[in-house]
Structure 1
Amino acid sequence: MTTAIIGIGNLGSRVARNLVQGGEPVILAARDQSGADALAGELGALASSATVADAVSAADTVLFALWLDTGKELISQLSQALVGKVVIDPSNPIGPDGQGGFTNTLPEGESAASILANLLPAGAHFVKAFGSLGADALGSAANRPSGRAVLFYATDDDTAAGTAERLISASGFDPVKVGGIESAGRIELMRGDLHQNGGLGGRLLNVDEARAAL
């Protein structure tokens, strides 16, 4: 089982490192192909690089580590190539607030996950995952000595749930499901009560704490 990671910024590169360390093969693709090539070379034998189209074609799972608007555009372009794939969305619906900070870019009650899920073709398996922690915590808290931290996920799809649990575990975290896509906003910035840098105020939760918070 191979995971394509589209986008190798802070989050995409962290997820790639964690998956490789957990024994999962990855294919990296990015607008800057040379950057994907370099990261794959650094990560070793379990990592390779390809164009976006080739990475999606060769993978079982596709993680779009992109800004929401870029993800919307790319998913629309790739549409039929995603049939049968597990699609992972870690995005957060945020943008500049004009005052040096960030704000939620979506109306109340709408999530990035609900938007992207509706763009997918029938036969794709969608899950919101790998976005409930900041990129720094994805790196520093993986396999933490004090006990694994939780990464939340949300999906209505059993196939996607199984894949998310496997990849989250391989990444050095414990998976906890918050519910279906209607609950995905709980793990997105800025409004999510279960996002590390939202309602959790920077805290990392263990499994017991996470289940109590649900």
Structure 2
Amino acid sequence: MKNAEKIAVIGLGNIGKAVAENLNKSGRKFIVAGRDTAKVKEVAKAWQNVQVADIATAVKEADIVIPAIYFPLVGEFLKEHAEALKGKAIVDVSNPIAPDENGGFKKVIAAEASAGEINASHLPQGAHLAKALGTLMAGSLSADAFATPHKVLFYATDEVSINPVVEQLIKDTGFEPVRVGGLNQSIRIEVFGELHEAGAVGKTVTLEEARQLVK
């Protein structure tokens, strides 16, 4: 796969907005889209390197598609845009959680299951999925971007040909990329996973710390 130049961020919730803001800081060109184009245009006024489009156009024009939407909607999104997504890299930021009755969050799939593997099962032919960018809480994704020394964003992929594309994307959001393995390792970098900020690691980590963690 060629080094992708066009990125589409679909959805400007907490994670999507943080990713878009970081891309803007790095000077990387990108497309943003959402269900309410007027609201997307209003938010995007603060960014310089952005193109606002409807969702179908954004998916069609991008090389890297980031559906920054709730986990239950990702599979539907992949099916709806299957034809346009063929041959593209899809970056899955989703976490399979929902509010619980105690004011916290709970996992909404089986304890041993991962959003990355489930969403990969819905991929159109020729598309490749990376689990990335959702491995920190949105606040840290914003606050710790472009830190010195750089903090790490973990990622997981099955298709190694997209690794350079994913790693450059992560660098352009202000972090150092560290691959944890294939998508069968996605659970480690999703919420409650051992390498997620809201899991055992409990914080953002430096490159040196990350290398020790993924040994």
**TM-score of Structure 1 vs Structure 2, range by shorter chain:** over 0.9
Q: In structure 1, which of residues 37, 42, 45 is the aligned counterpart of residue 41 of structure 2?
A: 37
Matched to 2:40, the amino acid is A
How far apart, CA to CA, are the structure 2 residues paired with 1:122 and 1:158? 16
**Equivalences for 1:172-191 in 2 at 5 Å?**
172-190=174-192
Q: Which residue, 152, 159, 170 being the options, matches 1:168?
A: 170
Give the C-alpha shift of residue 41 in structure 1: 2.2
Which of the residues 6, 9, 13 maps onto 1:9? Answer: 13
CA distance in 2, matches of 1:95, 1:40: 28
TM (norm. structure 2) is: 0.94
TM-fit CA distance, 1:126: 0.9
Instruction: Work out the CA distance in 2 between the residues paired with 1:15 and 1:175.
Output: 14
Q: Which amino acid aligns with 2:6?
A: T
The within-5 A match list for 1:45-56 is 46-56=49-59
User: 3-state DSSP class of the match of 2:28?
Assistant: coil
Q: Which runs of 4+ in 1 moved over 6 A?
A: none
How far off is 1:99 after superposition? 2.4
CA deviation map 1:81-123 (0-9, x unaligned):
1101110001101012222221011112210001111101120
Q: 2:84 aligns with which of 77, 81, 84?
A: 81
Residue 210 of structure 2 aligns with which residue? Answer: 210
User: Quick one: which amino acid aligns to residue 31 of structure 2?
Assistant: I
Task: State the distance in 2 between where 1:108 and 1:17 align.
Answer: 33
Percent of counterpart pairs with the same letter?
40
Tell me which moved more, 71-80 or 11-20.
71-80
Which amino acid in structure 2 is aligned with residue 49 of structure 1? Answer: V
Q: What secondary structure, in the 3-state scheme, does the structure 2 residue paired with 1:72 have?
A: helix
Task: Classify the secondary structure of the residue corresponding to 2:210.
Answer: helix
| Partner of residue 101 from structure 2, selected from 98, 105, 116 | 98
Letter in 2 for 1:16: A
TM-fit CA distance, 1:39: 2.4
- How far has the Cα of 1:207 moved from its partner? 0.9
| CA distance, structure 2, for counterparts of residue 171 and residue 99 of structure 1 | 33
CA distance in 2, matches of 1:27, 1:56: 9
1:200 counterpart residue number: 201
Whole-angstrom distance in 2 between the partners of 1:128 and 1:81: 20
Q: Which residue of 2 aligns with 1:158?
A: 160
Unaligned runs of 5+ in 2: none
Partner residue, 2:66: 63
**Cα distance in 2, alignment partners of residues 98 and 78 from structure 1:** 35
User: Is 1:125–1:159's contact at 8 Å kept on the other side of the alignment?
Assistant: no
The answer to whether the 8 A contact 1:37-1:48 is kept is: no
Contact 2:154 2:180 in 1 (8 A): yes
Q: Match of 2:123, as an amino acid? A: L
**Does the 8 Å contact 1:89/1:113 carry over to 2?**
yes
Structure 1 residue 197: deviation in Å?
1.3
Alpha-carbon contact 1:29-1:55 (below 8 Å) kept: yes
- Give unmatched runs, 5+ long, in structure 1: none
Equivalent residue of 1:4, what SS?
A: strand
